[in-house]
Amino acid sequence: MLSKVWQLFLRDARTALSYPMSFWPQWIAIPLGVTGVWFISKLIPPSHHFGVGGQTGTYFSYVVLNVAFLGFQSTAVSAYQNAVRGTQSTGVLEALLVTPTDLPLLVVACSLWAFALTAVRVVVYLLSAMLIFHLDLSHANSVAILLSLALIVTCMSSFGIFSAASVMTFKQPSPTGLVFGSASQLLGGVFFPISLLPLWLQHVSQVLPITHGLGAIRAAAHGATLGQMGPDLVWLACASLLLLPLALFAFHRSVIRAKYDGTLGQY
Amino acid sequence: MTERSAPAIVVDRVTKSFPESYKLSAWIKHHGPPPRRVALSDVSLRIERKELFGLLGLNGAGKTTLLKVLCTLALPDDGSVQVDGIDVEKNSLEARRRIGYCSGDDRSFYWRLSGRENMELFGTLAGFKGPRLAKRIDEVIREVDLSDDLDRRYVTYSSGMRQRLGVARALLHDPPVLLFDEPTRAVDAKHAENIRDFLRQLVDRSGKTIVLATNLVEEAWGICDRVAIIRRGRIVTVQSPQVLSAQSVDKRVFCVLVDSVSEDFLARMRTLQGFLQLSTRPNGEGVWVNVEMATSTATLNQLFQALNYDGVSIRSFKVELPRPFDIFVKWASTDAE
């Protein structure tokens, strides 16, 4: 099984690297993005809104952490649908589906490169912030960060797989990505704390997985223990347990439907 | 009956249809699901082990749809399909282990990867790895004569080379059943002949079962043990090419090379019992007289008697049987009983 996953990962890596003019410049853009955040943050004084557990924090550390890890949500929502759409439009989907490989394995393996690339981007983003602008992550709880990350990816992957099912059935992505992208930036506390929102919008914000995900990441980055992050992690775990089986079932049904309608390779 | 003697493929009353439209507007117009276009209608087949079985039909007859149902890419509306004793709908994964499918679509590879990288990917997905995979790739690539081009990017391959790589991919995991959809399309004459020979050898020497969908009647006649002719989703006949040819001999063309012909001579030919048609074609040695006669009533005796009437010198003589193409066209324009 691992050799299959590795080969699909290699396929995506080789394809991406075969386009050097789009692959390499993206790494230069990352420190430039961090620099922009740093200049904006100079306008905003430190506040307890940006800290964790009532402590004062800087806008720079608040936004850099949020933007960095928001990338995992974006990838989780888009990677699966991109994998399906990509293989449909290049004509390879049927060739893959006729191999003796489990469909869930294909779907997950086809999105691994996107997650790996996002992980490297996040590391480069955070390293830029640390090395150039002295972002302090010395107290970060690495285990808690990884656990939060795993839960964010699992929970948001459910929406991504729903979207892949939509591509399989309707030949176009569901509006999930657009809704989550916009809603997360506005209500998920990415660019400003949700405590600044009207109370009723704060309730809406609590329904978004990213609110809990970024809350957990920020807490872990400031050294919170797993116990202190409990509510956010439990929320993400419960949402994952509820949504992921539903998403996999929806995707399975969408493939069956496409096989009945003869639209497997259509896009 | 033991499992080994059971047919390699059993298609039992398979019906398959596709929606005529996938648009939302069609659902609104029809107040529900739009009507479906029938692609396969009540198709039943038994394909024996070690058989090279041809699927012949005009464009849109249902050949590719049938192959897709066999290889689990399409699900039938009704009926069942067993490949190597496995129900392809109930146990799709196990069925796919026993099937090699060559779609004939040159877009079914990764264009930015080399031929070898593509084969490594599909070989791994088929369950091979390490030195065994490398050895297997070399074996199948040698068979399709692509060894020198394997490390070139797929995008640089010609149409024929892509087609041959598709053939090689179908063989990678050494499945007992192989499905080929027009494997010689876009392949040059030399390599097409090599592929045909190779398919025949796969059956004769390696004991594979092959289903070959093709538009090339001569190809099917040349290598297939049996052919099924499909018309509008129905199988109109399943026979060996030899039997189909023999059954179709309801007329023969007797070709006689004579020194010269006169109007009297031609008039006498037209009075022969079973006469259908006559044509003449001069060549350097004389004139070819082609007399088409109904097989049921024509006899060579009366023909030679008529030829000898004026003491005509017969320089050469041959009998032309119906061409496979004519037989195919006849069946392909006939509805099943």
DSSP line for B122-167 = HHHHTT--HHHHHHHHHHHHHHTT-GGGTTSBGGGS-HHHHHHHHH
Q: Does position B3 have pLDDT exceeding 70, yes or no?
A: no
Which of B55, B176, B43, B42 has its CA nearest to residue B104?
Answer: B55
Question: For position B335, what pLDDT does the model report?
Answer: 59
Question: What confidence tens digit (pLDDT) does each residue in B29-40 have?
Answer: 877 878 888 999
What is the pLDDT of chain B when averaged over all its residues? 87
- What tokens were used for A149? 């990350």
Q: Does A260 touch chain B (CB under 8 A)?
A: yes
Question: Cβ distance B326 to B248 under 8 Å?
Answer: yes
Question: For position B334, what pLDDT does the model report?
Answer: 67
Average confidence (pLDDT) over B143-161: 90
Low-confidence ranges of chain A (pLDDT < 50): none
- Neighbouring residues of B205: CB distance < 8 A, sequence distance ≥ 6: none
Pairs of CB atoms within 8 A across A/B: 88
Q: Strand, helix or coil at A215?
A: helix
Question: Cβ distance B61 to B231 under 8 Å?
Answer: yes
Which of B60, B57, B68, B55 has its CA nearest to residue B37?
Answer: B60
Q: What percent of chain B is predicted at pLDDT more than 90?
A: 46
Q: Do B110 and A92 touch (CB under 8 A)?
A: yes
Chain B residues touching A167 at Cβ < 8 A = none
- What tokens were used for B23? 């648009």
Neighbour count for residue B98 (Cβ, 10 Å): 18
Look at phi and psi of residue B20 and say left if phi exceeds 0, alpha if psi is from -120 to 50, else beta: alpha
Q: Do A101 and B125 touch (CB under 8 A)?
A: yes
> What DSSP state is assigned to residue A57?
B
Question: For position B265, what pLDDT does the model report?
Answer: 83
Question: For position A14, what pLDDT does the model report?
Answer: 94
Q: Does B193 touch chain A (CB under 8 A)?
A: no
Question: Cβ distance B48 to B209 under 8 Å?
Answer: yes
Q: Does this model's pTM top 0.95? A: no
Q: Does position B1 have pLDDT exceeding 70, yes or no?
A: no
Question: What is the ipTM for the molecules in this complex?
Answer: 0.85
Which residues 147-186 of A have a C-beta within 8 angstroms of B?
171
Measure the N-to-C terminal CA separation of chain B; round to a whole number of Å. Answer: 31
Chain B residues touching A15 at Cβ < 8 A = 110, 112-113
**Binning pLDDT at 50, 70 and 90, where does residue B190 land?**
confident
Question: For position B2, what pLDDT does the model report?
Answer: 43
Look at phi and psi of residue B123 and say left if phi exceeds 0, alpha if psi is from -120 to 50, else beta: alpha
**Alpha-carbon gap: A158 to the closest alpha carbon of chain B (Å):** 24
Q: Does position B337 have pLDDT exceeding 50, yes or no?
A: no
Average confidence (pLDDT) over B180-207: 88
Question: What confidence tens digit (pLDDT) does each residue in A143-191 have?
Answer: 999 999 999 999 999 999 999 998 888 887 777 667 777 788 888 889 9
